Structure 1
Amino acid sequence: MSNVKVGEAGGISVVDFAPFLDGSRKQEVADAIVQSFKDIGFVYLVNHGLAQDKVDGMFDWSKRFFSQPMDVKMLAPHPADGAHHRGYSSPGVEKVVKDVFDADELKERRAKAPDVKESFECGREDDPYMPNIWLPDGVLSGFKETCTDFYWACREVLEMNFLRALALGLRAHETYFLQYHTKADNQLRLLHYPGVPVEQLKNEEVTRIGAHTDFCSITFLFQDSVGGLEVEDPNEPGQFKCATPVDGAVIVNAGDFLQRWSNDTLRSTVHRVRAPPNFASSVGMTPERYSIPYFCAADFNTVVDCVPTTYSAGRPKKYEPISAAQYIMERLAANY
């Protein structure tokens, strides 16, 4: 395992995914991934197979989109219904929190310390639950096509191979998770964090993204070089470590649904976005930040039970079977 784990960043393993992709050391890579998911719920992947120029191109288009005037971006508005995560959301509209489901409390928290970020979200074109909301034809031509291409590249290159590794690491059949992820019920999100006063972030007058967990199966996150992502230390609740950007890496984390699915074998860990570590500015402002998460969910209409290898007579199942739609839609609606 020492040869496939090539380092650490913020206590998170950096794993070389190439020996899985070429078949030379599949089980060792799978074991390293699962161990990191058990320890902290996150793992960095290098040599993950997705071409860097494709990643760089998506970041370039993201910057082009967010640089448009507000009236242009609002031509693809995110619906008021929080369960329909598609289209553009302006700064301060969303408030990401953990385990807060009361609408009045969410409203109060949003007013007290809004999330200063803007986002654009899309999924597969034939999604019956959440149809995409694009800019009108002729406005920022090429944006839709680039998003769609990147969405499917993440699906085929990252998600499918990572799910195989995850299954092997849990000592299940390599295709175990694939049968529950056949429809690409996923979400690509482009994120832009405008510069904000450092002191306001430190005093929590504003937030970038507050402490929360993801609620899907897995999340792939591409970061720019600015930094700011922090992951809670499982051994010291309330203490966070900086998940420093690693060149050429995608950082992957387990969601709440996967923790439940794995019978709590894997961790869905609290994380947040703050000011970059050790940042000092003569004007007192944080730099703007861009990131691209790709959220992967099990097929919405499929009911899943705990992974068979994660329970036994001595370690019984903790959860009843549930559909991804039932689980995820409740969480989406509660956090917007």
Structure 2
Amino acid sequence: MSIPAIDFSAFRKSTEQERRELANRVTEEFKKHGATRLINHGITGEIDIREQSDKFFKLSEAEKVATANVRDANPQRGYSHVGSEATSKVNKRDQKGEFQICEDDDVDQELIDAKEHFDYTRDGDEYPTPWPSDVSIPGFHDWMEGTFLPDCMRLARDVLTAIELGLDVPVGTFTSCMESRVDELRIQHYPPLPVEKLKAGKIKRCHPHTDFGFITLLFQDATGGLEVEDRANGGWLPVTPTADPTEVGVYIGDTLVHKTNGHLRAAVHHVVAPLSLKDREDGVMPERFTIALFAKADRHADVGPMPRFITSETPQRFPSLTALELHNKRVGQLYDARPKA
């Protein structure tokens, strides 16, 4: 079993009935896995974004550090070095074996993520992005912020509209909470990693976790290693890239889980050795590049459960809180920057 790749072209061009049929199919996949994959979705700039990513991560260490992210509970902006983010701290298994948001420090604090990344948002946001100079990467800022980010935002809102149709809630239920456009985009680099380090158990390219926003769009290269939790059978489903260079993975995040009172569950995912190296005791995993758009609700929007998802059989599972409060809680867990009891 694997996660199917769905042709999304009909969502913008077809009849209302065909749009609803596609929306229902996409939503059913989200109910099964918390994730799906889309092709023919309207974004064609993946080659450019990968070239831009490669240019950024080849900057000198001094140039990257000049854009460093501040490790606090606020939204991430700028460059984070290898090992900076500890995704192992944000989710843990409950007594039923299901991954839940971690509320304490009862997780292994020494697990390391072997990746580096650069996070940014649109110009004018209250949490500004420290961009590299245009001398270092000509055109990087303009293309990333002015072209690729808006394209990804548009697709994310189309997907959320499809989910609204699939859940039979009024159109705009989720997208109307996104008017301030606080989505974040991340370019991510996983350096080459000896397999023996992975086998030691303390290092993964990324530990099992859920993302924090409404949904995540994820573009990945052909290296492999991404896996999504197999809810039906246990274990993990490899998300092996198709031959389509425009393929994008879409993952349900914590905000949508809160809004639907757990009717939709977030996609638990991690990054391990690709299939070709899984049974090897030696060798080196090649470097890997991904690009993620974290589609976020307005910071002061209430992301507590919607009344229609609260019943006597499914009582309210999550508190009413703002999107920023949820975000700060999750990022604070990453960087041990939460308010202390």
* TM-score, scaled to structure 2: 0.87
- The answer to whether 1:134 aligns with 2:134 is no
Residues 83-120 of structure 1: per-residue CA shift (max 9 Å, x gap): 240101111222112335667x78x73xx442111100
* Aligned counterpart for 1:70 among listed residues 61, 65, 79: 61
Residues 26-48 of structure 1: per-residue CA shift (max 9 Å, x gap): 01111011111111100101111
Q: After superposition, where does 1:95-106 map in structure 2 within 5 Å?
A: 95-97=86-88, 98-99=90-91, 100=102
Q: For residue 200 of structure 2, what is the aligned residue in structure 1? A: 203
Q: After superposition, where does 1:79-228 map in structure 2 within 5 Å?
A: 79-97=70-88, 98-99=90-91, 100=102, 109=109, 112-128=110-126, 130-148=127-145, 149-156=147-154, 158-228=155-225
Residues 248-305 of structure 1: per-residue CA shift (max 9 Å, x gap): 3110010112112112111112110011112288971001000001001110111144
Q: For residue 278 of structure 1, what is the aligned residue in structure 2? A: 276
Report the CA distance shift for 1:19/1:114 in structure 2 as closer, same or farther (over 3 A).
Answer: same
| Aligned CA-pair RMSD | 2.1
Q: For residue 256 of structure 2, what is the aligned residue in structure 1? A: 258
Following superposition, the deviation at residue 153 of structure 1 comes to 1.3
Counterpart CA distance in 2 for 1:310 and 1:47 is 32
Figure out how many residues of one structure are paired with residues of the other and give that number.
Answer: 318
Counterpart CA distance in 1 for 2:174 and 2:84 is 34
Counterpart CA distance in 2 for 1:75 and 1:125 is 18
CA contact (8 A) 1:170 1:310 kept: no
Structure 2 residue matching 1:215: 3-state secondary structure: coil
Structure 2 residue matching 1:278: 3-state secondary structure: helix
Equivalent AA in structure 1 for residue 21 of structure 2: E
CA contact (8 A) 2:184 2:294 kept: yes
Structure 1 residue matching 2:118: 3-state secondary structure: strand
* Aligned counterpart for 1:41 among listed residues 28, 34, 44: 34
Q: For residue 6 of structure 1, what is the aligned residue in structure 2? A: none
Following superposition, the deviation at residue 312 of structure 1 comes to 4.6
Equivalent AA in structure 1 for residue 149 of structure 2: Y
Counterpart CA distance in 2 for 1:305 and 1:73 is 37
Tell me which moved more, 71-80 or 136-145.
136-145
Q: For residue 289 of structure 1, what is the aligned residue in structure 2? A: 288
Q: Which runs of 5+ in 2 are unaligned?
A: 92-101, 336-341
Structure 1 residue matching 2:112: 3-state secondary structure: coil
Equivalent AA in structure 1 for residue 210 of structure 2: T
Equivalent AA in structure 2 for residue 145 of structure 1: D
Q: For residue 301 of structure 2, what is the aligned residue in structure 1? A: 302
CA contact (8 A) 1:34 1:266 kept: no
Counterpart CA distance in 1 for 2:251 and 2:103 is 23
- The answer to whether 1:329 aligns with 2:322 is no
CA contact (8 A) 1:170 1:309 kept: no
Following superposition, the deviation at residue 311 of structure 1 comes to 4.1
- Give % identity: 32
Structure 2 residue matching 1:333: 3-state secondary structure: helix
Q: For residue 238 of structure 2, what is the aligned residue in structure 1? A: 242
Counterpart CA distance in 1 for 2:85 and 2:314 is 39
Structure 2 residue matching 1:303: 3-state secondary structure: coil
Equivalent AA in structure 1 for residue 276 of structure 2: N
Q: For residue 51 of structure 2, what is the aligned residue in structure 1? A: 60
